Chain A
Amino acid sequence: MKGNFIDNLPKVYGIYTGGFLAFIIIMSIAEQMGMTAKTIGICFVAFTVAIYAIIGYLSRTAQADAYYVAGRQVPTVFNGMATAADWMSGASFVAMAGGIYFKGYGYMALLVGWTGGYVLVASLLAPYLRKFGCYTVPDFIGTRYGGNLSRFLAVVVLTVASFTYVTAQINATGTIASVALDIPFQYAVYVGLVSILLCSMLGGMRGVTWTQVAQYIVLIIAYLLPVFWISNKMGAGFFPHFMLADEVSRIAELEAQFGFVKNSAENLKEVPKGLAGITKAHSAVNATPWAFISLALAMMMGTASLPHVMMRYFTTPSVKAARKSVGWSLFFIFLLYSSAPMLATLSKLSLIDPTLSTGIIGKSIADVQAIDWYQNWNQANLMFVSDFNGNGTLELNEFFMGGKAVVLATPEIAGLPYVISGLVAAGGMAAAMSTADGLILAIANAISHDVYYKIIDPKAETAKRLVVARVLLVVIGFAGATIAAMEIQGILGSVIWAFDFAMSGLFFPLVLGVWWKRANKEGAIAGMALGLISGAGYLIWVRNGGSGFLGITQLTFGIFGSAVSLVAMVVVSLITSEPSAATQKMVDEVRVPSGKSILGKQH
């Protein structure tokens, strides 16, 4: 191919996408010819991971700006795809449709929160941080406010938030690898980890960027293809997003007919851990305005404070490109997020509507227990039925499912060929890997650049800095995998906590750093330290039986943390002296998109 790599990107990824589609077709032919389900699953996961590893190897680099910010030459649309993959984690891919399936409207606050946050990213932060020319988020805090303590605190907040997040992602790669490759979870976690490190170790941000674009393509095909296929197969409409109104109202009708019967605590003891029944209305408003809005708000402010997203906008060629790139990111995220409620609708209707051949509610318990897919997913501990009232038929309140099953099992329930299940496994793997890569890199870069290079050894040579960065990458990855292997918390809960931690400590120090010239070092230090401490304190208090206040729960503790952070930062800034003239001039410079960046190309 002629020309440089960047100019050829559309061609390269066009061929890649075509190749992947061809692979799916080959696999479905192989299935027709008798290839077993297990082999198909292994092929899908192994083939895609091998491709990412090759991209990771080809992107290897020995230059600091390529390692930290991909040489600042990633075009807007491709950066949008990479950000979308970076953003959409195992939680978005595997757990989100499940959450909507069980909790309906109240849960969809996450959809609004995880998209609305990008408006804050685009308008308040990304273009200004791009102009700043930093390598990492703490790099901005440390230079804007000055002093090692502020830089170090930013690294602490970043590490707490990202590490909480990354264990969940490694857990998700482990779950998928263990199912697809049929190996025990404790080992599968490390298989997942090695795949993750293959993408990021040699090329840093450059390697992660180009693997994330490849991973986005896999995950979006893997999510949309089954949704469209199921919708068409059920006769629900060829374009589900615009045509499921009848299905949504049919679910409301069935809910009214069945009613939400509350199970006794004794009966619920029988149900395996982690499985749930349908207890909330699908499309009716079932949450108070504040419960909905507080969750959405926490997720939006958290989005704007999460370093692994912000650092993606450091890789664009210009400030203008950074702004546009945020729009593209959200567009690519929108494609998946707007499909999740449709998948939840299709999945729910196909299970509960007695007039459909796939419906199981109202059938006899013995018949349901004899269904092939029920036996498979029951064995995987993701489905469970029990005749609580002893009438021999399955009622709505007697059917339980794991959150993951909505995405993983619906293709099989709807009678799609196994090749689709293999594809979904590859998509989930891509989603979890891409996010884990972004997060591990964010932590390792912050520690290697901000703590090691800027604080401990400012004279270190580039080669030495990059060795430190890579060693940290491996160490953090292994620490994450070890904690993931202990299976302490669920995927979704820890992801939401990560947002709350990030907003508690970083939202106001970042935003006010650009928008309030008077903000100074002492204020930022107080804001970060008190924000993180009060947020974490609130979480611990509520977890240990505290009643909480203002309706702030353990999922929205960041609202309290960030409020404390804001007050502390403003008060302390105002009672201490204003920032130096040089710092104020720097803020003026940041606000102008043209001209040189504040920090040099190599720093």
Chain B
Amino acid sequence: MSKQAQHWEKSRGLLLITLAIWFIFSIGIFLFGAEMNEVTGPFGYPLTYWFTCQGSLGAFVILIFWFANRQEKIDEEFGFSERGDD
């Protein structure tokens, strides 16, 4: 398999993991919204309410930075990273 194909395979793997985590925080937990809201979440808010206000939103921010770093590692591994910028 060529270097390029291997790079793409790894990138696709990372995409699937990223989308799986995205699915949990954007769709998965809201399937059980009513049940989860009975539980007290962080800072004392009802749990589902907290996820809609802060939890899921924060998870997305962290997820994007994590994804960007992992993708950079993959690019470096195959020598595809760009030079000359931050």
Contacts and interface: CB of A to CB of B under 8 A. Distances in A.
A84 to B, nearest CB: 12
B60 A119 contact: yes
A240 B46 CA distance: 16
A287 B48 CA distance: 12
A320 B67 CA distance: 11
Nearest to B37: A285
Contact of A591 (B8, B37, B53): B8
A245 interface: yes
B54 A338 contact: yes
Contact of A112 (B26, B61, B79): B26
A127 B45 CA distance: 37
Contact of A105 (B31, B52, B58, B67): B52
Given A116-B25, A327-B64, A296 B80 contact: no
B30 A293 contact: yes
Contacts of A109: 30, 52
B37 to A, nearest CB: 5
A367 B71 CA distance: 62
Contact of A119 (B22, B49, B81): B22
Interface in A83-105: 105
Interface in A291-330: 292-293, 296-297, 300, 317-321, 323-324, 326-327, 330
Interface string B42-77: 011110110011101110110111011001100100
Interface string A368-408: 00000000000000000000000000000000000000000
Most A C-beta atoms less than 10 A away, residue of B32, B52, B79 = B52
Contacts of A113: 26
Given A334-B58, A593-B75, A317 B27 contact: no
Given A115-B60, A320-B72, A591-B11, A245 B82 contact: no
Contact of B64 (A122, A300, A593): A122
Contact of A594 (B64, B65, B75): B75
Contact of B56 (A115, A297, A593): A115
Interface string A112-140: 11011011101110010000000000000
Given A317-B85, A321-B86, A588-B4, A285 B64 contact: no
Contact of A592 (B4, B27, B60, B85): B4
Given A320-B82, A341-B53, A594-B75, A245 B43 contact: yes
B83 to A, nearest CB: 8
Contacts of A342: 53
A36 to B, nearest CB: 38
B43 A242 contact: yes
A210 to B, nearest CB: 19
Nearest to B57: A115
A116 to B, nearest CB: 4
Contact of B85 (A122, A242, A321): A321
A463 interface: no
A566 to B, nearest CB: 16
B86 A593 contact: no
Contact of A323 (B49, B53, B56, B71): B71
B67 to A, nearest CB: 6
A48 interface: no
Contact of B26 (A244, A296, A324, A330): A296
A323 B67 contact: yes
Contacts of B80: 592-594
Interface string B6-42: 0110010001001100100111001111100100000
A122 B68 contact: yes
27 contacts: A76-B86, A108-B49, A111-B53, A116-B60, A123-B18, A124-B15, A246-B44, A283-B46, A284-B37, A289-B31, A293-B30, A293-B31, A320-B68, A320-B72, A320-B75, A320-B85, A321-B86, A323-B64, A323-B68, A327-B65, A327-B68, A334-B60, A334-B61, A337-B57, A338-B53, A594-B81, A594-B82
